[in-house]
C-alpha cells in the first residue's frame, strides 16, 4: 500500500490506510512515499534546531521583499566562515561531486536544480552554468524544499540582510536574537548540504 503521509491517509482513526485494511480484512505492507517522508525529515530538523522558535516563516517573506536590494556579487560561503569550514572540509569535495552529477541529469525540477546549485555554492564550488541566484519564490508549508533553499540563500547573504528584532516577553537584545537566527540557519544549511541532499536525491533516483 503506497501513500503520501498526509493525515487523511495516515490518521490512526479515520485515515484511508486504516479504512482500506478494514475493508480488505487484512493487514497491508505500508510503503509510505519516500518523497513525503524526506520532506517530513527536513521539517523536523528545521523545528529541532529552532530552539528560539525563530526564524518564523514570515522571515522568509521579509527576505523575499528585501531581495531587490541584495548585491548578488557579495555573498559569503561556508568556506568564508571558520566554524562552518571546519565542519564541511572533509566531505566538501564528495558532496560537490555528487551535486554536479545530479545537475547533469535531465528533466530536473527548477527547485531541485536550485537546491543543488546552492549546495555547490554554499560549499565554495561553482555550478556548471556559473553562479547565479534566482528570485526567492513563495514559501508554502507543504513544500519544505523551499525551507532548505531559503535557509541557504539567506545565510549566503547574511551580511546584507538585516534581521529585525521580534517582540517577545523576554525582550532579548537585537544582537542576541539575530545571532540565534543566523546560528539556526547555519545548522539547517549544514544539515541540508552535508546530509540531506544525498539522502533526498538518492531516494528520488531509486
Pull the grid cell for residue 206: 531509486
109-134 residue pLDDT tens: 888 899 999 999 999 999 999 999 99
Q: For residue 79, is pLDDT > 50?
A: yes
Give the count of beta carbons closer than 10 Å to the beta carbon of residue 203: 13
Domain map (residue ranges) of the chain: 52-204
Identify the pLDDT of residue 54: 43
CA distances from 9 to 16, 20, 23, 40, 101 (A): 5, 10, 15, 15, 35
Tell me the average pLDDT across 101-107: 84
Check residue 137 and report its DSSP letter.
Answer: P
How far apart CA 160 and CA 144 sit, in angstroms, is 24
- Looking at the DSSP assignment, which residues form a beta bridge with residue 3? 32
60 neighbors 151 (Cβ within 8 angstroms): no
Average pLDDT over every residue of 74-95: 94
What is the distance between the alpha carbons of residues 101 and 14, in angstroms, rounded to a whole number?
43
Q: What size, in residues, is the chain?
A: 206
Amino acid at each position: 500500500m503506497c501513500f503520501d503521509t498526509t493525515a487523511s491517509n495516515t490518521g490512526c482513526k479515520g485515515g484511508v490506510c486504516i479504512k482500506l485494511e478494514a475493508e480488505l480484512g487484512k493487514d497491508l505492507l505500508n510503503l509510505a512515499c519516500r518523497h513525503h517522508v524526506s520532506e517530513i525529515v527536513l521539517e523536523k530538523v528545521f523545528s529541532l534546531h529552532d530552539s528560539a522558535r525563530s526564524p518564523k516563516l514570515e522571515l522568509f517573506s521579509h527576505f523575499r521583499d528585501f531581495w531587490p536590494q541584495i548585491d548578488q556579487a557579495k555573498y559569503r560561503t561556508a568556506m568564508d566562515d571558520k566554524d562552518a569550514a571546519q565542519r564541511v572540509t572533509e566531505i566538501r569535495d564528495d558532496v560537490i561531486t555528487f551535486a554536479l552529477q545530479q545537475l547533469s541529469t535531465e528533466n530536473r525540477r527548477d527547485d531541485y536544480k536550485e537546491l543543488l546549485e546552492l549546495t555547490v555554492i554554499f560549499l565554495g564550488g561553482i555550478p556548471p552554468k556559473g553562479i547565479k541566484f534566482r528570485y526567492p519564490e513563495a514559501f508554502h508549508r507543504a513544500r519544505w524544499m523551499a525551507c532548505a533553499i531559503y535557509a541557504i540563500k539567506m545565510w549566503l547573504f547574511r551580511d546584507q540582510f538585516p534581521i529585525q528584532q521580534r517582540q517577545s516577553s523576554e525582550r532579548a537584545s537585537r544582537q542576541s536574537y539575530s545571532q540565534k537566527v543566523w546560528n539556526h540557519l547555519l545548522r539547517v544549511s549544514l544539515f541540508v548540504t552535508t546530509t540531506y541532499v544525498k539522502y533526498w536525491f538518492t531516494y528520488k533516483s531509486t
